[in-house]
């Protein structure tokens, strides 16, 4: 049996993970700043998450949400500790794409409108609905026609917001574009977006699948801008490594939904609920957002200072521990050199090296990563010069 692969292989067999590290089959240790596309933000095999999963596995693993269970009751209480103030309702699913699908469906039902607005360089998933509001043409075009109509506006461009009209059901935005190049939104743009959507009765969906759960220095990245979403999607880090996502919404939206409007076989299962409970407890116990804020500022500064003499560096940017090193060249060789130096990273956009570090990263780890990045950029420049 051949397993279908949609991702290019990295030529590395990983057999173990612990904290911010993984090990290959030869016993070599790697600093994991890839972290499963950011899933392992709380570290591989976080002790509190493991404790809750192991306990739940000894009781019951599979149960539809049509039945009550103690772990879901505990989940509801713990979600109160991290949810945005205005979002009192959550529905659990399995992936970020699924959370976005629900958000889009709900927006159409509640508003009675059809059109969506998304942004250049956005990424919201690969299922048909979430793919419709994803910018990258090579992802979309083979599968069109998709959901529509969709308008793509320029990210961080306040003038483009004037193009949003009353036929729009929802605007969906990432507070930090991840796949698109680790591009943080600016304050004027996010506040302007909130103002115009409120004025025109449009639902504002904030996609926190990658940016959320402490990674940027606050529990949710949109909190940097002092605004509230109408719907928020979350995923990746909220399960501490277990596949789970959530769509959050306020009472006035949840009250308009009825039985059969959506469903899921695995969403909100006992193991997923236990993983989220453990993740929330870990987040609060170790003051994770503050650690991400402080460590992210140090890491970004170290990268900026060390790479400042390279002509191929366009910018080092990010928020918290969501960091991008944007080159003027293809970053593929640099990412390979990083891996050869036992630091795992991933690509974002066309030219960006992306680091999605676990919050447990140390100053020594950062020094290793910065040194490996320098070697990667140097190799890239030398190859370009010799070509």
Feature table: binding site for pyridoxal 5'-phosphate: 123, 207-210, 265
Cβ within 8 Å of residue 80, ≥6 positions away: none
Among left, alpha and beta (phi > 0; psi -120 to 50; other), residue 180 is: alpha
Exposure string of 211-229, with b = 16+ CB inside 10 Å and e = fewer, is bbbbbbbbbbbbbbbebbb
Among left, alpha and beta (phi > 0; psi -120 to 50; other), residue 112 is: left
**What does the DSSP 8-state code read for residue 123?**
-
**Cα torsion through 374, 378, 384, 387, rounded to 10:** -150
Instruction: Tell me the C-alpha distance between 307 and 300, whole Å.
Output: 11
Backbone angles phi, psi at 356, to 5 degrees: -115, 75
Annotated binding site: 123, 126, 207-210, 264-265
Contact criterion met (CB below 8 Å) for 231 and 205: yes
Strand order in the sheet with 29-32: 14-18, 21-24, 29-32, 343-344
Annotated binding site for substrate: 126, 264
**What does the DSSP 8-state code read for residue 224?**
G
Give the position of tokens 């591009």.
Answer: 183
Q: Cα 255 vs. chain centroid, distance in angstroms?
A: 28
Q: Cα 248 vs. chain centroid, distance in angstroms?
A: 15
Instruction: Tell me the C-alpha distance between 331 and 307, whole Å.
Output: 14
Contact criterion met (CB below 8 Å) for 237 and 321: no
Instruction: Tell me the C-alpha distance between 240 and 44, whole Å.
Output: 8
How buried is 290 (Cβ within 10 angstroms: 0-12 exposed, 13-18 middle, 19+ buried)? middle
Instruction: Tell me the C-alpha distance between 256 and 23, whole Å.
Output: 49
């Amino acid at each position: 049996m051949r397993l279908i692969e949609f991702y290019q292989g990295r030529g590395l067999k990983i057999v173990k993970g612990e904290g911010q590290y993984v090990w290959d089959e030869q016993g070599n240790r790697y600093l994991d700043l890839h972290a499963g596309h950011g899933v392992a933000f709380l570290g591989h095999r976080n002790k509190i998450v493991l404790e809750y999963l192991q306990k739940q596995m000894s009781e019951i693993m599979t149960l539809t949400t049509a039945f009550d269970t103690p772990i879901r009751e505990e989940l509801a209480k713990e979600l109160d500790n991290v949810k945005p103030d205005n979002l009192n309702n959550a529905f659990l699913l399995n992936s970020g794409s699924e959370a976005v699908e629900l958000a889009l469906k709900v927006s159409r039902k509640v508003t009675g409108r059809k059109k969506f607005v998304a942004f250049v360089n956005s990424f919201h998933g690969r299922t048909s609905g979430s793919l419709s509001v994803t910018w990258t043409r090579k992802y979309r075009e083979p599968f069109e026609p998709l959901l529509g109509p969709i308008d793509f506006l320029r990210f961080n461009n306040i003038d483009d917001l004037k193009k949003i009209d009353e036929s729009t059901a929802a605007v969906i935005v990432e507070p930090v574009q991840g796949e698109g190049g680790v591009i943080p939104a600016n304050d004027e743009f996010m506040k302007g977006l909130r103002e115009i959507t409120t004025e025109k009765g449009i639902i504002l969906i904030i996609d926190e699948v990658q940016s959320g759960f402490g990674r940027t220095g606050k529990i949710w990245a949109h909190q940097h801008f002092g605004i509230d979403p109408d719907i928020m999607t979350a995923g990746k880090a909220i399960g501490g490594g277990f596949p789970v996502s959530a769509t959050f919404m306020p009472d006035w939206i949840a009250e308009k939904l009825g039985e059969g409007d959506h469903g899921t076989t695995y969403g909100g299962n006992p193991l997923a609920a236990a993983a989220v409970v453990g993740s929330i407890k870990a987040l609060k116990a170790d003051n994770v957002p503050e650690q991400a804020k402080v460590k992210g500022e140090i890491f970004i500064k170290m990268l900026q200072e060390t790479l400042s003499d390279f002509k191929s560096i366009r910018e080092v940017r990010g928020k918290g521990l969501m960091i991008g090193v944007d080159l003027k060249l293809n970053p593929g060789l640099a990412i390979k050199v990083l891996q050869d130096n036992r630091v795992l990273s991933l690509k974002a956009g066309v030219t960006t090296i992306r680091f999605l570090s676990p919050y447990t990263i140390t100053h020594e780890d950062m020094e290793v990563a910065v040194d490996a990045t320098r070697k990667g950029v140097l190799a890239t420049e030398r190859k370009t010069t010799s070509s």
